[in-house]
Amino acid sequence: MYLAEGRDKRVKAILEVGEWAGTVKLVVIGSSGVGKTALLRLYCDHEWDPRLATSTIGIDFKTKRLLVGDQPYKVNIFDTAGQERFRTLSASYYRGAHGVILVYDITNRKSFLDLEGWFQEAKTCSTEVVVLCLVGAKLDKAAQGERQVSTEEGRALAESHGAIFYEVSAKTGENFREPFVGTVQRIVGTPGLLEAVRRKPVPDALRLNRGDYYTKPIILVSLLHCCLSG
Amino acid sequence: MESLSDTLWDVVICGTGLQQSLLALALSRSDKKILHIDPNEFYGGAEAAFSLQDTELWVNRASAGSGGLFKSASIAKPEGTTGLSASRAYSLALAPQLIHARSTLLSQLVSSRAYRQVEFLAVGSFYIFKPPQESSQRPSLARIPSTREEVFSTTAVSAKAKRLLMKFMKFVLDYESSPQLEVWQPFADALLTDLLQQEFKMDAELQTYIVTLTLSLDGKISTKDGLAAIRRHLSSMGVYGPGFAAIYPKWGGLSEIAQVACRAGAVGGAVYMLGTGIKETETAEGEVKIQLTSGDTVKTRMLVRAGDSASDEMGITRLVAVIGSPLNSLFEAVVEGAPRPAVAVIAFPAGSLSTVSGKASEYPVYLSAHSSDTGECPAHQSVLYLTTLSTPDANATLNLALDAFLGTITEGQAPSVLYRLQYEQLAGSQRSQSEASIFTFPAPFLSLSFNDSTLQPVHEAWKKVMGDAAVEADYMTFADREGAVDDDDVYE
């Protein structure tokens, strides 16, 4: 249903060319149970199912195509795979990330206090320039008086770290796209990051699945033959 | 969320070195309940890679005697301004092994889809260090021709030597069939150099070229092992692109593979804890009760852990040096269309260095030069990994080799050494141990290129954990996870 907004043929044509303006890597972090995966599922699969929300198994990353201006970007969004539980995310998880989305639960003060550590980790583990986005999740519960972290507190923390800030609800769908779209927009609007996003995979990086494409030993042998007999 | 103590785990894996991590990858699509712990605060065990700050922490532990198979670790930096960048701009590898293109490790990374999260770089030329003939001259590096193109184009060897090299390369590519087999079998357990001298009439210099390609740590490799190593090198040439035989994972070598494998384990549902080791184990009625250093007690059907008992074999001594120069001339592609290599290997044959005590060096020294493309250091710097067998002179010999190598660099000013890390790594038991409910991996190989025998114990452990549910054809063969497919569009 969300897809219906703004769909038009010109946009579709650009996306179907298959030429990406670049590939963006986003990683999602934050304490266990704050609703990281629910947000990701809603944004990427348009699904919200509280039964799926118990723990994160089986999600590596999700891919989304996003048009910023008239440029199509491929956005890979990585989930923590439960490695946030004991704070064991590896350096390779953050490798090459252009944006980090930090999530807390507005009804869980502890998850907000944990953010200091998560901001620290985001800054040490990612590349020099990275866009940070702070997200207060479970906004729907505020109406039931369960809020433990005020909007002002959240915004102030975000500002102190130079992060974008949103409060969202995966249940009602309120603001659910903003963190992802806002982060990508800021990434492509940041000199240095835009180039990183646009860079084709390092030309020297090897694609292993390319397999036996080049000179096989058998050719080498036959060439050796020529050389020796010649 | 399930509590650690209330769960009966199918397997507790202790340690996140390469083998344990590959086991986690192998089990990542099974429905086994896996708890993966590591007493270290970092991933990778003996294959880890460190920022400068983490290196310091590791050195403190290793010099305090709690470094397992690592000891005598120290760091040296010049006084005052060092020219070093921020700590995390570095990723120094404890096991900077190169991986030959034909290695089963690579085919398993491909079939398990783990390769998508790893970036690989080409390992370029192999060089031999040539000491100066007279004291007024500079030492130099001679490139070992290891492809047809290079043998053709090299000016380093005579026409006769070229013919001998060609003949030998052809021989090796099919050395296990007749009539080659009959030629080398009498030499199987003798030195490879004996075969090269007697059957191929190679002089000492050519023999050194060939032996260097085996990366033999003592330089005394047998004919049987040597031919296998050379064949691996030659048959790996060109598999992933023209002009190179081996590759290297960006950001610290095997460390990166261990991390990616652990993540695959986590995606599959394994629970990860670092900084948590085993205090005590107690086995009863087919279950192992483990007291963790975190205070938790967990129960598991099986425990798989790292072997860290030292053996009598010789260990290695390493010197890791950060250099304030990009050393560009080492990292040039030598074949048209080849990718720019990020790694070059320089061998100092036995006897090519004079030690402090005036003796000639007893064992070869290998220097693996990594450009900043590896992500192990910032741009305009490079990292040199020097390795030799541990002897009382080893540390001094490595520093001599480093100075000698820097003396061969003619571009620009003499490069400065910004940072030195030295340590010893003991050889460990090469046998895995399998008891009823406890499996212990062998210690890592100390070789400079990845040894495929590392993979067999992983497979054994997998079979043991899977029991009757083990389907051989499924081992390390998985479909892509859903995220890898492009599906939805969003328009802005």
What gap in Å lies between CA A225 and CA A228, rounded to an integer? Answer: 5
pLDDT confidence of A22, banded at 50, 70, 90? confident
Q: What is the pLDDT of residue B423?
A: 96
pLDDT tens digit sequence for A73-87: 889 999 999 999 999
Whether residue B491 has pLDDT greater than 60: no
Whether residue B488 has pLDDT greater than 50: no
Residue of A nearest to B3 (CA): A85
For chain A, say whether B457 makes contact (Cβ under 8 Å): no
Residue of A nearest to B121 (CA): A205
**Cis amide leading into B392 (omega within 30):** no
| B109 min Cα distance to partner chain A (Å) | 9
Whether residue A43 has pLDDT greater than 70: yes
Q: What is the pLDDT of residue A66?
A: 87
Q: In 3-state terms, what secondary structure has residue A222?
A: helix
Strand A22-29 and strand A71-78: the pairing is parallel
Q: Which residue among A6, A204, A228 sits closest to B340, beta carbon to beta carbon?
A: A204
Q: What is the pLDDT of residue A214?
A: 39
Contact B491 A7 (CB under 8 A): yes
Alpha carbon distances (Å) from B101 to B110, B124, B369: 12, 13, 19
Q: What is the pLDDT of residue A211?
A: 45
Contact A63 B152 (CB under 8 A): no
Whether residue A212 has pLDDT greater than 50: no
Q: What is the pLDDT of residue B486?
A: 46
Give the A window 58-87 contacts with B, CB below 8 Å. 58-68, 74, 76, 81-83, 85-87
Question: For the domain B8-51+251-310+430-476, what is the CATH superfamily, name and number?
Answer: FAD/NAD(P)-binding domain (3.50.50.60)
Q: What is the pLDDT of residue A224?
A: 46
pLDDT confidence of A9, banded at 50, 70, 90? low
Return the percentage of chain A with pLDDT > 90, whole number. Answer: 52
Contact A214 B263 (CB under 8 A): no
**Chain B partners of A63 at a C-beta cutoff of 8 Å?**
483-487
What gap in Å lies between CA A152 and CA B314, rounded to an integer? Answer: 63
Q: What is the pLDDT of residue A225?
A: 45
DSSP string, A181-207: HHHHHHHHTSTTHHHHHHSPS-TTS--
**Chain A partners of B27 at a C-beta cutoff of 8 Å?**
none
pLDDT tens digit sequence for B412-450: 777 899 999 999 999 998 888 888 899 999 999 999 999
Q: What is the pLDDT of residue A217?
A: 40
Q: What is the pLDDT of residue A192?
A: 85
Contact A5 B491 (CB under 8 A): yes
Q: What is the pLDDT of residue B482?
A: 66
Whether residue B220 has pLDDT greater than 70: yes
What gap in Å lies between CA B374 and CA B88, rounded to an integer? Answer: 14
Whether residue B374 has pLDDT greater than 50: yes
**Chain A partners of B266 at a C-beta cutoff of 8 Å?**
81-83
- Higher pLDDT, residue A94 or A205: A94
Give the B window 183-222 contacts with A, CB below 8 Å. none
What gap in Å lies between CA B120 and CA B109, rounded to an integer? Answer: 12
For chain B, say whether A227 makes contact (Cβ under 8 Å): yes
Q: Of A200-204, B357-361, B399-403, B457-461, where does mean pLDDT reach its minimum?
A: A200-204
The domains of chain B are located at 8-51+251-310+430-476, 99-249+313-425
Residue of A nearest to B341 (CA): A204
pLDDT tens digit sequence for B294-339: 999 999 999 999 987 888 899 999 999 999 999 999 998 878 788 8
Q: What residue numbers bound the domain in which A112 lies?
A: 2-229
What is the SS3 string spanning B162-181?
A: HHHHHHHHHHHHCCCCCCHH
What is the largest distance, in Å, between two alpha-carbon atoms of chain B?
74
Whether residue B345 has pLDDT greater than 80: yes
Q: Of A14-23, A211-220, B70-79, B98-107, where does mean pLDDT reach its minimum?
A: A211-220
pLDDT tens digit sequence for A106-123: 999 999 999 999 999 998
For chain B, say whether A46 makes contact (Cβ under 8 Å): yes
Beta carbon pairs, A and B, within 8 Å: 180
Whether residue B480 has pLDDT greater than 90: no
Q: Which of A88, A108, A200, A213 to mutate to test the interface with B (most CBs of B within 10 A)?
A: A88
pLDDT tens digit sequence for B209-218: 999 999 999 9
Q: What is the pLDDT of residue A226?
A: 43
Domain count, chain A: 1
For chain A, say whether B88 makes contact (Cβ under 8 Å): yes
Highest-scoring range by mean pLDDT, B11-25, B59-73, B355-369: B11-25
pLDDT tens digit sequence for B104-136: 999 999 999 999 889 999 999 899 999 888 777
Give the B window 120-139 contacts with A, CB below 8 Å. 120-122
For chain A, say whether B117 makes contact (Cβ under 8 Å): yes
Average pLDDT over residues A147-175: 96
Q: Name the residue among B438, B196, B244 with its Cα closest to residue A204.
A: B244
Q: What is the pLDDT of residue A18?
A: 59
What's the mean per-residue pLDDT of chain A? 81
Contact A221 B174 (CB under 8 A): yes
Contact A59 B267 (CB under 8 A): yes
pLDDT confidence of B156, banded at 50, 70, 90? confident
Give the B window 405-444 contacts with A, CB below 8 Å. none
Give the A window 105-164 contacts with B, CB below 8 Å. 124-125
Q: What is the pLDDT of residue A216?
A: 39
| B104 min Cα distance to partner chain A (Å) | 12
| CATH code for position A18 | 3.40.50.300
For chain B, say whether A204 makes contact (Cβ under 8 Å): yes
pLDDT confidence of A15, banded at 50, 70, 90? low
Alpha carbon distances (Å) from B167 to B162, B173, B175, B196: 9, 10, 12, 11
What gap in Å lies between CA B282 and CA A68, rounded to an integer? Answer: 59
- Higher pLDDT, residue B46 or A7: B46
- Higher pLDDT, residue B196 or B286: B196
Contact B242 A214 (CB under 8 A): yes
Residue of A nearest to B343 (CA): A204
Architecture field, domain B99-249+313-425: Orthogonal Bundle (1.10)
DSSP 8-state secondary structure symbol assigned to residue A144: G
pLDDT confidence of A206, banded at 50, 70, 90? low
What's the mean per-residue pLDDT of chain B? 91
pTM: 0.92
Q: In 3-state terms, what secondary structure has residue A123?
A: helix
What dihedral angle (degrees, nearest 10) is formed by the CA atoms of B408, B411, B416, B421?
-60
For chain B, say whether A52 makes contact (Cβ under 8 Å): no
Whether residue A205 has pLDDT greater than 80: no
Torsion-angle region of residue A78: left (phi > 0), alpha (psi -120 to 50) or beta?
Answer: beta
- Model ipTM? 0.88
Residue of A nearest to B260 (CA): A92
Q: Which residue among A63, A85, A210 sits closest to B486, beta carbon to beta carbon?
A: A63
pLDDT confidence of B158, banded at 50, 70, 90? confident
| A34 min Cα distance to partner chain B (Å) | 13
Q: Which residue among B148, B266, B482 sits closest to A82, beta carbon to beta carbon?
A: B266
| A2 min Cα distance to partner chain B (Å) | 9
For chain B, say whether A209 makes contact (Cβ under 8 Å): yes
Length of chain A: 230
| B116 min Cα distance to partner chain A (Å) | 9
Whether residue B473 has pLDDT greater than 80: yes
pLDDT tens digit sequence for B8-50: 999 999 999 999 999 999 999 999 999 999 999 999 999 999 9
